[in-house]
Structure 1
Amino acid sequence: MKTPLLTDSCCDLAPELLQNLDVRRVSFHINVEEKSFTDNHQINLTALLANMRACKSAVKTACPSPDDYLQEMRSAESCFIVTISGRLSGSYHSAMAARDMALTETPDKKIHVFDSKSASSGETCVALRIEECMEADLSFEETVENVSAYIDSLHTRFVLVHLDNLMKNGRLGRLKGVLGMMLGIYPILGDNGDGEIVMLEKVRGLKQAMGRLADLFKDNMDTQLRKTTTIVISHCNCEERALALKEQIQTFSKDLKKIIVVPTGGLSTVYANDGGIVLAY
């Protein structure tokens, strides 16, 4: 029997991908001043972006509660859960608390919570890896071992066009942010290997930044990984730019396993903002 897969809503999954993977999701909640959004398949991303642009204060988000996870765990004999990095959100800790409660109620359940140490398309990569393990008929324990090793090798890279949310949330000094936008400087961010997002480089010009994002992929990927790793590109309202990045990456090798392009969900939209690109592999 197939083990159910549960993710939080930072996992970017297009509707068709969500259906093919048979994934269940628990929702983040987003508050933009007086306007509230539940991050599910019905979220109006156009309205979210419009409210974010008009908002002068920080956008607030709330992760799923332990009870949100627990309700899903109770309905299955075993399950895998994938969350956004525990360094970025309380979602992982909510899932772990729910796991403890579920195992207290039913000690023979098999439940494993994966901290993706990533976000957005990185979390999608982890979900896809779990699906591959299940399709290969790996045992529960073998899947945990395989996916845990995969997470340790995962790379997540971002190019942001708008820095407003970073400034509003205090993650980037307002003066630096304003000067950067005026000078056409685009930050390339990425994971530090331990689930935190750090500034990797600053590049002048969006075209150059996207080219550098592709080069970082080329630098990181050896021949074997190109044949075995699925690449996921999340985009916030900029599909054309995401498809151009996909084409550029495809020029590096004919051996690439698969490149998937998906729109950002609600929480990833808050992180990436309008025009943002998130590349994970």
Structure 2
Amino acid sequence: MEKIKIVTDSTADIPQGLAEELGITIVPLNVIFSNEESYEDGVTLKADDFYRYVKERNHIPSTSQPTPFQFEEVYRSLLEEDDTTIISIHISSKLSGTYQAATIAVQSLEAAESIHVVDSKRASYAIGIIVVELAILAREGKSSDEIRSRLNELLDDTQVYFMVDTLEYLQKNGRIGRASALLGSMLKIKPILSLTEEGEVYSFEKARGQKKATNRIIEVLQEQYGSEPIHVGISHAVNEEYAKEVLALLKEKFDIKSEVITTIGAVIGAHVGPGTVAISVSKAK
């Protein structure tokens, strides 16, 4: 019988317990504070510790993707079982070299035809919401063809919107200019960020204040999904209380089939900063 293994990376921000329950393999990216201080996202550096380090040191670290060798090791271990197919889904190639590293790893394996590497063109739980559904299908015994068909639907039907608490991280990572960051902070502007079809971050709209930004996102989601049943994921960077408020607002407006509140990990957190809240939505079957 065909065995389907689902692989992703740590930027999917899937809660550890959920990943373990569904048998999802997570390859960690790296967080680098200095030449002598590097950590594996979610493995040797948990999200809470990351945000505490950033606050204590007043330093925004850099990040790096896994090596092809790391992917090769993961794939080889999963392929030890006969009749295994791997579906490996990763952060947008416009944001990281992770997808490229996974692709290089596959080329060195004899069983390359059994591994399907996918550029999600997404980040954070907008990847996770897709991966979790595919892992559930795999657990239910669906075939690789059925799972890949559903994957294509999800890639078309999943949206994400971010609200950042400060523009400092975006500016330091080259997403916006210094003048825009300063002006936005002074005016308490909350940019609503999303991802293009190609997987690049862009400013969808701007709102003055978090509540106005949230209400605008809900309006846009109503236009996109209407009364259709949906899956929802709220990911946050040390902003759990507001994440819960956002979920409560969504429950008033939508037919929600499943919900997850999760913490934004160190790699995505290094680019968006503490206080960020992201809303990921996909159509439910």
Q: Same fold (TM over 0.5)?
A: yes
Partner of 2:137: 133
Partner of 1:106: 111
Partner of 1:272: 272
Q: Which secondary structure does the structure 1 equivalent of 2:256 belong to?
A: coil
Q: Distance in 2 between matches of 1:33 and 1:174?
A: 24
For 2:147, the aligned partner's letter is T
- 1:8-47 Cα deviation digits (max 9, x unpaired): 1101111221221111111111113454222024414344
Q: Which secondary structure does the structure 2 equivalent of 1:223 belong to?
A: coil
For 1:101, the aligned partner's letter is S
1:183 pairs, out of 173, 180, 187, with 187
Shift of 1:270: 1.5
Shift of 1:63: 0.3
Q: Distance in 2 between matches of 1:182 and 1:127?
A: 39
1:86 pairs, out of 62, 83, 93, with 93
- 1:131-183 Cα deviation digits (max 9, x unpaired): 23324433112211220221122111100002211111221111110111111
Shift of 1:126: 1.5
Shift of 1:274: 0.5
For 1:45, the aligned partner's letter is A
Is the 8 Å Cα contact of residues 236 and 274 (structure 1) preserved in structure 2? yes
Structure 2 vs 1, CA of residues 46 and 150 (structure 1 numbering), >3 Å: closer, same or farther? Answer: closer
Segments of 5+ residues of structure 2 without an aligned counterpart are none
Partner of 1:49: 51
> What CA RMSD, in Å, does the superposition of the two structures yield over aligned residues?
1.9
How many residues align? The count is: 273
Partner of 1:242: 243
- 1:212-259 Cα deviation digits (max 9, x unpaired): 2222222221333x2xx3211111101110010000000013x32112
For 1:279, the aligned partner's letter is I
Shift of 1:55: 4.4
For 1:12, the aligned partner's letter is D
For 1:191, the aligned partner's letter is L
Segments of 5+ residues of structure 1 without an aligned counterpart are none
Could you say which structure has the higher strand fraction? 2
1:63 counterpart = 2:65: yes
For 2:29, the aligned partner's letter is F
